[in-house]
Amino acid sequence: MKLMFLGAPGAGKGTQAERISEKYSIPSISTGAILREAMANGSDLGIKAKEFIAAGALVPDDVVIGIIKERLAQADCNNGFILDGFPRTVPQAQALDEMGIDMDLVVSIEVNDEDIVERMGGRRLCSKCGTSYHIVHIPTKVDGVCDKCGAELMIRADDKPEVVKDRLVTYHKQTAPLKDYYNAKGKLTHVNGNDSIDAITEKISSAVDGIRG
Ligand code: AMP
């Protein structure tokens, strides 16, 4: 089962990818998380990615395509995977096609820009395991502490309001055209990202079950 989640930053791709990953026992692959880990480690990749991420721009296609090729070659992807945040441009989608990877389902999680800005203001991330929270919509049991691993929560540098605006512009210009790309292939389904988290998981699950037959 090869799934892809499309949507603006903060639409809930990561939250849903985590849930669907657990439900169907397939890995969720986030290029953003891989890049953040590289930045935290101070690797060459991290140093290269940092300036783009901090500016709300996209990391160059050849860099992220390289990351995805390496990641999808790992054994845990043999039974399928969820792509969360890749592809983000038409050339990235074409690279997947050239790799012979045919997605089973592409889910677009729709949230309007005003709601995205509100959501990003409240988003918090675990500094250790990367789990995503929201101070109102997905609160932790103990303030500022990750429910899963007990580490401290942080605010992503690129969730600052001025960067969020640039990320939204980038999304509409470079990533939103992917909806047409996958619609033309008959793979696209939409979900309303303003529904409850449980309702969205339900909708995605029924779409997945529908294509599994
Ligand atoms: P995310 O965690 O998916 O919101 O990604 C955070 C940031 O990492 C994005 O704003 C981009 O700068 C970069 N990034 C993640 N995935 C990609 C991708 N597929 N192509 C280019 N840049 C990416």
pLDDT tens for residues 99-155?
999 999 999 999 999 999 988 999 999 999 988 899 998 999 999 999 999 999 999
Q: Write out the H or E segment, with its range, that includes residue 31.
A: helix 31-41
The verdict on the CB of residue 29 being under 6 Å from ligand 1 is no
In-domain check, residue 47: no
State in Å: Cα 213 to ligand 1 middle: 33
Q: What is the mean pLDDT of residues 28-49?
A: 95
Determine whether 19 is an active site residue: no
Exposure string for 56-76, b = 16+ CB within 10 A, e = fewer:
bbbbebeebbebbeebbeeee
The verdict on the CB of residue 52 being under 6 Å from ligand 1 is yes
Catalytic residue among 48, 156, 160, 179: 156
The CATH number of the domain where 93 resides is what?
Answer: 3.40.50.300
What atom of ligand 1 comes closest to residue 85's alpha carbon?
A: 3
What pLDDT is attached to residue 157?
Answer: 87
The verdict on the CB of residue 105 being under 6 Å from ligand 1 is no
What atom of ligand 1 comes closest to residue 57's alpha carbon?
A: 12
In-domain check, residue 119: no
Nearest one of 127, 202, 117 to 163, comparing CA atoms: 117
Determine whether 119 is an active site residue: no
Give the domain extent around 203. Answer: 2-26+79-111+169-212
What pLDDT is attached to residue 139?
Answer: 95
The verdict on the CB of residue 53 being under 6 Å from ligand 1 is yes
Structural domains in the chain (count): 1
Q: What is the mean pLDDT of residues 85-103?
A: 97
> In testing the pocket of ligand 1, which one of 16, 18, 53, 156 has its CB within 8 Å of the most ligand atoms?
53
In-domain check, residue 179: yes
Global pTM value: 0.93
The verdict on the CB of residue 46 being under 6 Å from ligand 1 is no
Residue 213 has pLDDT above 80, yes or no: no
| CA dist., res. 161 & res. 113, Å (int) | 12
As beta bridge partners, residue 124 has 133
Q: Write out the H or E segment, with its range, that includes residue 66.
A: helix 61-72
Q: What is the mean pLDDT of residues 182-209?
A: 97
What pLDDT is attached to residue 152?
Answer: 97
Tell me if 16 sits within 8 A of 5, measured CB to CB: yes
As beta bridge partners, residue 83 has 4, 29
pLDDT digits (tens, 9 = 90+) for 143-176: 999 999 999 999 988 998 889 999 999 999 999 9
Q: What is the mean pLDDT of residues 80-87?
A: 98
In-domain check, residue 44: no
Kindly indicate the confidence band of residue 212, based on its pLDDT and cuts at 50, 70 and 90.
Answer: confident
Kindly indicate the confidence band of residue 196, based on its pLDDT and cuts at 50, 70 and 90.
Answer: very high
Kindly indicate the confidence band of residue 46, based on its pLDDT and cuts at 50, 70 and 90.
Answer: very high
In-domain check, residue 21: yes
| CA dist., res. 7 & res. 126, Å (int) | 22
State in Å: Cα 34 to ligand 1 middle: 9
In-domain check, residue 146: no
The distance between the two most distant Cα atoms of the chain, rounded to a whole number of Å, is: 46
The verdict on the CB of residue 6 being under 6 Å from ligand 1 is no
Q: What is the mean pLDDT of residues 198-209?
A: 97
In-domain check, residue 197: yes
Q: What is the mean pLDDT of residues 67-82?
A: 97
* DSSP tag of 76: G
In-domain check, residue 86: yes
